[in-house]
Structure 1
Amino acid sequence: MSSRAEAGQSALQQKQLGEEDNQNRPRESVLENNGYLLQETVGTGAFSNVKRAYSKTANQTVAIKIISKQKATKDVLNKFLPREIDLVRGLRHTNLIRFFECIETTMRFYIVMEYAENGSLLQLIRKEKSLSEERAKSYFKQLIDAVEYIHSVGVVHRDIKCENIVFDQRFTLKLIDFGFARGNMKPLVSGEKMKPILSKTFCGSHAYASPEILKSIPYQPQLSDIWAVGVVLYTMVFGRLPFANENNVSLLIKQVSAGPKFPKDRGASDNCKDLILKILRPVNLRISVEEMRNHAWLNEPHSNCDDSEFEKKMKLDPTLEENPDEHIRKLIHCKFCKENKDLQCTTVQKLYNRKKAGPKKF
């Protein structure tokens, strides 16, 4: 190769590197100009990734979902993403991930939201194989709180699954990813009856999809959300999906129509199984969130914690009385909670509520 050709090729390579730098630089400068310092990647998708970041303005860690306009489909850019941003702006609930702001450039969307330090429910189940009924019950109560709230304001999620459930620093459950969500879905009043608004968009994961979605018939999305929370409950308790043939829809429909089977190698109480069966059944028989709340399994007393032993620990460690935050940080729990490493035990909540009412707020 001649020296002139080599020089030309070198100049071309430098130009390409310069173009790559220019493509990367706006992302950093746009976020930096808005007070965000990007850190590591915590999640990836087909056309997006999620990075942890530090907000200098708010002095806290946040998560930033970065969506590439070049990789995303037209439906995502023109339909689902604008709808998602519009919906999450107006949602406020303890068990929903909090939205902070959206930044748009010519190349990308940046959705800034609350950071969930303790990962997803899917990661937790993979790590621990399955959850105790008491722990599953605590998370399930929070999940149906979130679902009941969004339904009350006319929003349906349509993609509830273990991957879209995360935990913050205190292991409070947060429902995330409203990419397939839709608003203005409150049933209409027709005479003395409520007429539901049906959905014809068949979205979400097959493993969590209700029979009506799998059969591609118009469906009431609130009831399909309820089906999905039933799949989540089953997965928490048994450590596996109730219906696993995602790639064969015909076989999956047969499994779903037959109802869930309970594995013999993992026990569960009769009340827990009964609730699962009442959720994972045909749409005309499916239990409502209100009926779930009144179900025996969700109203059983907490049997795994020894309150008296917990109170002894409080007396032995004076810092717990003086500083309940120190208790939260040290995770000094009763035997059950010590194993599970979370803050959902009722005895911990008793301490939390008692101290919250005292002179020190936290």
Structure 2
Amino acid sequence: MGLGLHQTFGGPRVPPAQTKVCGCLQSNSNSERNLSETWHCTKNGFPKPSGGRKLKAALVPSRLRDRGKFGRVYVAREVKSKFVVALKVIFKEQIDKYRIHHQMRREMEIQTSLRHPNILRLYGWFHDDNRIFLILEYAHKGELYKELRKKGHLTEKEAATYILSLTKALAYCHEKHVIHRDIKPENLLLDHEGRLKIADFGWSVQSRSKRNTMCGTLDYLAPEMVENKAHDYAVDNWTLGILCYEFLYGAPPFEAESQENTFRRIMKVDLSFPSAPSVSLDAKNLICRLLVKDSSRRLSLQKIMEHPWIINNADFRSIYNLFEHLIIDLRINRELWSYDMGSSSILPY
């Protein structure tokens, strides 16, 4: 559930009570952090019926990392292994208020099923009467959005490396029939080594067929969404073009003073390149081949990875290989615990 700074479409998006499930949390005494009870859970993270073997796990929140309309994010560590994770606490009353039960469940199901070096891992969850707790991979350096705002714009080598990482992650998602539909700098995190992670799947959908819901963030919407036409995986390819431009110039290409003008510029693909900062012709070529109104003519993800600008600028050494990631993932799952969504509902009301 992202905390984006741009206007979003498609309806609202988005955690003290007696705790029912999973773990031992120790914290400060204020009501937001008073999580010191010991909880028991089944392997899938839901309340254990009376009797039977109980699984115990322990997390210690250390500090508040972020806050937003839907909840809080804490940095936490698993007591036994000392492994650091992010603990996202979401208020159930907000889920009720905005009627996003189905969207929340779908986001969790999708993110739990995805295991890729450039996708933030959702290790598991538990809940109490008022809150849902998501146990996530911790991205030490935070949002790419903040780095971009601090620098103004990125170098071509930085931008190409991030675009390649994103392209690899989206290729994996598309193989799993997942369309992300809301890639933007606020939804991209950086780990301790600066590797990019897609972190928010709130508007994602898993489908083999075209979709009709207009959703996402205004500056990143593809023309077919703006025109309320059916869309498919190609909306993610469009967004890669938007991001490549924003990384290099510091702002999205169709940004305007009013929503109506932004819509108009997107539908016309009113694309122009400022004289400063200086950007190579190869980079502009990649952007132009992605920001194409006809979705069937946009550059494929495979062709993006083979594009001269990517080949000549991306730092391939800084990108995880899949084998390395799987080794790390196995170690983490052994030290924490692995959940299985099964057919259960995370929203038990």
Which bracket does the TM-score occupy, shorter chain normalised? Answer: 0.7 to 0.9
Whether the 8 Å CA contact 1:206–1:246 is kept in 2: the answer is no
C-alpha displacement of 1:163? 0.6
1-structure distance, mates of 2:37, 2:257? 42
Whether the 8 Å CA contact 1:199–1:218 is kept in 2: the answer is yes
2-structure distance, mates of 1:218, 1:211? 11
1:171 maps onto 2:208 in alignment: no
Structure 1 residues 267, 225: closer, same or farther in 2, change over 3 A? same
Q: Which residue identity is paired with 1:223?
A: A
In the other structure, the counterpart of 1:91 is 114
TM-score, normalised to structure 1, is 0.70
Deviates more, 1:267-276 or 1:56-65: 56-65
Percent of pairs with identical residues: 27
TM-score, normalised to structure 2, is 0.73
Structure 1 residues 349, 143: closer, same or farther in 2, change over 3 A? closer
1:288 maps onto 2:296 in alignment: no
Whether the 8 Å CA contact 1:259–1:281 is kept in 2: the answer is no
C-alpha displacement of 1:80? 0.8
1:214 maps onto 2:226 in alignment: yes
- Corresponding residue SS for 1:84: helix
Q: Which residue identity is paired with 2:265?
A: Q
Question: What do the CA deviations read for 1:265-309 (whole angstroms, capped 9, x no partner)?
Answer: 211000100100111111232111012122221122x5xxxxxxx
Q: Which residue identity is paired with 1:136?
A: A
Flag structure 2 segments of 5+ consecutive residues without an equivalent: 1-28, 41-55, 325-349
- Corresponding residue SS for 1:232: helix
- Corresponding residue SS for 2:272: coil
C-alpha displacement of 1:77? 4.0
In the other structure, the counterpart of 1:255 is 265
Whether the 8 Å CA contact 2:187–2:198 is kept in 1: the answer is yes
In the other structure, the counterpart of 1:41 is 64
- Corresponding residue SS for 2:85: strand
Structure 1 residues 164, 97: closer, same or farther in 2, change over 3 A? same
2-structure distance, mates of 1:77, 1:57? 35
1:153 maps onto 2:168 in alignment: no
Question: What do the CA deviations read for 1:166-196 (whole angstroms, capped 9, x no partner)?
Answer: 111111111111111112x23xxxxxxxxxx
1-structure distance, mates of 2:140, 2:127? 26
Q: In structure 1, which of residues 56, 63, 82 is the aligned counterpart of residue 86 of structure 2? A: 63
Flag structure 1 segments of 5+ consecutive residues without an equivalent: 1-20, 187-196, 303-343, 357-362
In the other structure, the counterpart of 2:137 is 114
Q: In structure 1, which of residues 222, 228, 232 is the aligned counterpart of residue 243 of structure 2? A: 232
2-structure distance, mates of 1:113, 1:229? 25
- Corresponding residue SS for 1:277: helix
C-alpha displacement of 1:43? 2.3
Q: In structure 2, which of residues 255, 278, 283 is the aligned counterpart of residue 272 of structure 1? A: 283
Whether the 8 Å CA contact 2:269–2:291 is kept in 1: the answer is no
Structure 1 residues 295, 87: closer, same or farther in 2, change over 3 A? same
Question: What do the CA deviations read for 1:69-109 (whole angstroms, capped 9, x no partner)?
Answer: 11224665421111111112211101111111111211111
1:29 maps onto 2:40 in alignment: no
Deviates more, 1:170-179 or 1:280-289: 280-289
Q: 1:318-333 to 2 correspondence within 5 Å?
A: none
Structure 1 residues 345, 293: closer, same or farther in 2, change over 3 A? closer
Whether the 8 Å CA contact 2:63–2:75 is kept in 1: the answer is yes
C-alpha displacement of 1:345? 4.5
C-alpha displacement of 1:28? 4.3
Q: CA RMSD in A?
A: 2.6
In the other structure, the counterpart of 2:7 is none
Whether the 8 Å CA contact 1:42–1:50 is kept in 2: the answer is yes
- Corresponding residue SS for 2:263: helix
2-structure distance, mates of 1:199, 1:28? 44
Q: Which residue identity is paired with 1:286?
A: R
C-alpha displacement of 1:40? 2.4
Q: What count of residue pairs does the alignment treat as equivalent?
A: 277
Structure 1 residues 247, 48: closer, same or farther in 2, change over 3 A? farther
Higher relative contact order (CA 8 A, sep 6+): 2
Q: Which residue identity is paired with 1:168?
A: D
Structure 1 residues 295, 159: closer, same or farther in 2, change over 3 A? same
1-structure distance, mates of 2:68, 2:30? 23
Q: Which residue identity is paired with 1:253?
A: F
1-structure distance, mates of 2:300, 2:98? 32
Whether the 8 Å CA contact 2:121–2:136 is kept in 1: the answer is yes
1-structure distance, mates of 2:229, 2:122? 33
Structure number having the greater helix percentage: 1
Deviates more, 1:135-144 or 1:236-245: 236-245
